[in-house]
Structure formats: C-alpha cells, structure tokens
C-alpha cells in the first residue's frame, strides 16, 4: 500500500504545473481601467493643468506623457515596496521625496538629450511633483497594494493621462497650426481657397473645450460615469 502511495505521489510531482499568465485578469483590469472607466483626467479630473499648458503641439505632449508614465509607474513601485516601513505621519513627505527624485532624473535626461524640448516644457516637468494624479495613485493604490499591481496601476494611469494629452494636442496643433509634429499637413491650396488656421485652438481655452467634449462623449457612451467625478 505504501509503495502504491509513493508511486502516486511521484506521478503527481511529475505532472507539469500550469504556468500562471503574465497578466492575470485582475492585473489587466488594473492596467486598462485608467484608459477609460477611471481615466485620471476625464473621470478623476486630475492633472488638468498640464493638459492645458503643453498640448499646443504633439511633440511636447508626447514627451510629457512618457515622463508621467515613468514617474507614476516607478513612484508607485517604490512606495509599494516601502509601504510597510513608512510611518503614517510622514508618508506624504516620503511620497514627495520619491516623486521629486524621479522627476529630477527625467529632467536631467531631457536636458542632456533634448535640451530645446526641456526648455520648451519649462516648469511643467518640475510640476509633475505636485501632479494630483501621481500623488493620488500613491495614496489610493500603492500604499495598500503589492508592488507588481502598483506598478501596473502607475503605468495604466500614466497611459490614460497621456491618451487625453495626445488627443488634445493632435486637435490643437492640426486645426491651430495646420501641422503635426511641426510637419505641415494642410496643403497650400486649401489656404488659397480661403481656409484659415483657428487661432483659438492655440489658447488654453481650446484644451478645456476639447476635454469637455471628450468627457461628454465618454459619459454619453457610459452613463454610469456621470455621477462618479
């Protein structure tokens, strides 16, 4: 009987274990929800300032997106790793130190490799430190969840933030300047027919209009979002 039991145990050990997926269903939800149902700009209404300031052209908006994704993802990761050792009385100070360190890295890399663009973005890179979205994810998610999920949450919110920035920047640069990435897309004969670039699109007010239109479209498509924010 003992021999048979040993043989069964050996067979069980030899059964190949099913590999866990790289992203579980919960992980995918954490990563993708900020793209739509919990978008930081259109649902949580956070990080609006940079959406108004850096979206007159696609290139600075795209670079700002990459910076925020990096900072938000790795800030979430670091705070999640430290969450059990941070005294609650100084947790926000620690969070600010982590964010400021990552923003400094981003700023120095931009100055080293894209100096003109770093000057164009000016203070807005530094203002990532006080971006409500980044701080909000640290408080709401990273302080209560494991590192991997926190990292995914940071990436998802950074991408969700960036989608809106790039959407607004494409509309503003195309209709305000007739170009994308400073490449003229509207041909000259269109201007010869009387078309004029819309100067309103180059003002911060245009960004508010565009974000408002996106919020309206999103809530028309998903009425359950109406009372969330």
Give 119-129 pLDDT, tens digit per residue: 888 788 888 88
Token readout for 229 is 């924010």
Average pLDDT over residues 179-186: 88
Q: Phi and psi (nearest 5°) for 180?
A: -140, 135
- Taking 60 as the threshold, does the pLDDT of residue 36 lie above it? yes
- Taking 80 as the threshold, does the pLDDT of residue 228 lie above it? no
Question: Within 13 Å and on the Cβ side, how many CA atoms surround 61?
Answer: 28
pTM over cut 0.75: yes
- Taking 70 as the threshold, does the pLDDT of residue 217 lie above it? yes
Mean pLDDT, the chain, integer:
86
Long-range (24+ apart) CB contacts under 8 A made by 98-102 are 98/138, 99/71, 99/75, 99/128, 99/129, 99/134, 99/135, 99/138, 100/129, 102/70, 102/71, 102/74, 102/75
Token readout for 176 is 């305000």
CA–CA gap between residue 201 and residue 183 (Å, rounded): 17
54-100 per-position pLDDT tens digit? 888 999 999 999 999 999 999 999 999 999 999 989 999 999 999 99
98-150 per-position pLDDT tens digit? 999 999 999 999 999 988 888 888 788 888 888 888 998 999 999 999 999 99
Q: What percent of the chain has pLDDT over 90?
A: 47
Give the pLDDT score at 117.
Answer: 86
Q: Cα dist. 176→56, 187, 193 in Å?
A: 8, 14, 17
- At 16, the pLDDT band (50, 70, 90 cuts) reads low
Q: Cα dist. 19→16, 23, 136, 147 in Å?
A: 9, 11, 34, 21
User: What angle, rounded to 10 degrees, do the helices at 58-82 and 147-177 form?
Assistant: 170
- Between the two ends of the chain, the Cα-to-Cα distance in Å is 66
- Mapped onto helix, strand or coil, the DSSP state of residue 87 is coil
């Amino acid at each position: 009987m003992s021999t048979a039991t040993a043989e069964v145990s050996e067979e069980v050990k030899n059964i190949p274990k099913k590999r866990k997926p790289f992203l579980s269903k919960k992980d995918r939800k954490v990563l993708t929800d900020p793209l739509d149902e919990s978008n930081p700009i259109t649902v949580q209404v956070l990080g609006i300032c940079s959406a108004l300031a850096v979206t007159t052209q696609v290139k600075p908006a795209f670079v700002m997106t990459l910076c925020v994704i990096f900072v938000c993802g790795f800030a979430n990761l670091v705070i999640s790793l430290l969450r059990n050792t941070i005294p609650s009385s100084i947790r926000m100070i620690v969070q600010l130190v982590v964010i400021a360190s990552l923003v400094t890295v981003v700023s120095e890399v931009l100055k080293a490799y894209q100096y003109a663009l770093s000057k164009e973005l000016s203070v807005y890179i530094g203002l990532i430190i006080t971006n409500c979205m980044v701080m909000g994810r640290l408080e709401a998610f990273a302080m209560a969840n494991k590192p991997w999920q926190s990292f995914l949450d940071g990436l998802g919110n950074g991408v969700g933030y960036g989608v809106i920035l790039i959407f607004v920047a494409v509309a503003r640069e195309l209709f305000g300047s007739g170009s994308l990435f400073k490449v003229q897309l509207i041909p000259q004969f269109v201007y010869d027919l009387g078309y004029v670039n819309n100067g309103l699109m180059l003002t911060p007010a245009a960004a508010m209009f565009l974000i408002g239109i996106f919020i309206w479209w999103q809530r028309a498509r998903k009425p359950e979002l109406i009372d969330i924010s």
